[in-house]
Amino acid sequence: MFEELSLPLPLARTSVSETEVAALVETYSTLLFRLAHSVLRNPTEAEDVVQDTFVRVMEHRRALPEIRDLRVWLVRITWNLALDRRRRIRPEQLDDISALKLAGRNTPADLALHDARELARVFREIDRLPRAERQALLLSAIDELDTRELAELLNKSESAVRALIFRARTRLRERLSKGGKA
């Protein structure tokens, strides 16, 4: 997985301490969970991906001191792991239960079910977007990543990322307004 990364990993210092890795977990675990959950839509699977991400960090902690942008590096690892895991999960494991959990907090059951169905419909329409648009849209939903970071992560220019997000939002809005028939 690390061979796929385009970020440089030269060694300067010999290693990073376990305390420093624990600080990375504290700082980035919420962001990485949201990212993994946006791909997997299953909290248990998302937690596993975050854990796998930090296992990789521990395995490669000798390379950490010279990574240019740790947040982008961690997001890329998490994104790749989540996509790999998604390929192995049946579609029915992704939408309904997680959508109901997201929609059902402190809401009457009939409204929670309606909201869950609507949320599942949005998820299905996001899944139907072209791959590049879907990736840009999902990654842009994570408010801690700016356009520069998204561009670096997706290996595209900032203007290309903005265009992908615009097209994805426009297409999604049109499909949802037509009841998903576009």
Is residue 182 in some structural domain?
A: no
Q: What is the 3-state secondary structure (H, E, C) of 85-115?
A: HHHCCCHHHCCHHHHHHHHCCCCCHHHHHHH
- Residues 141, 129: contact at Cβ < 8 Å? no
Residue 107 lies in a domain: yes
Residue with tokens 């192995």: 88
Last residue of a domain, one of 87, 107, 128: 87
Q: CA-CA distances (angstroms) from residue 105 to 37, 102, 112, 124, 145?
A: 17, 7, 8, 22, 27
Q: Are residues 34 and 75 both part of a single domain?
A: yes
pLDDT tens across 78-96, in order? 999 998 888 887 555 554 4
* Number of domains the chain contains: 2
Same-domain status, 32 and 76: yes
Domain-embedded: residue 9:
yes
Domain boundary, last residue among 26, 61, 87: 87
pLDDT in the model for residue 174: 93
pLDDT per residue, tens digit, the chain (182 aa), is 333 333 344 434 456 778 888 888 999 999 999 999 888 888 899 999 999 999 999 888 888 888 888 888 999 999 999 988 888 875 555 544 454 455 445 667 777 677 778 877 888 888 899 988 988 888 887 656 788 888 988 889 999 999 999 999 999 999 999 875 54
Note down the domain range covering 64: 2-87
Q: Of 87, 105, 135, at which residue does a domain stop?
A: 87
Closest CA to 53 of 93, 10, 24: 24
Same domain, 73 and 121: no
**What SS3 state is found at 156?**
coil
Q: Verify that 37 and 11 share a domain, yes or no.
A: yes
Count, in order, helices (H) and strands (E) of the chain: 8, 0
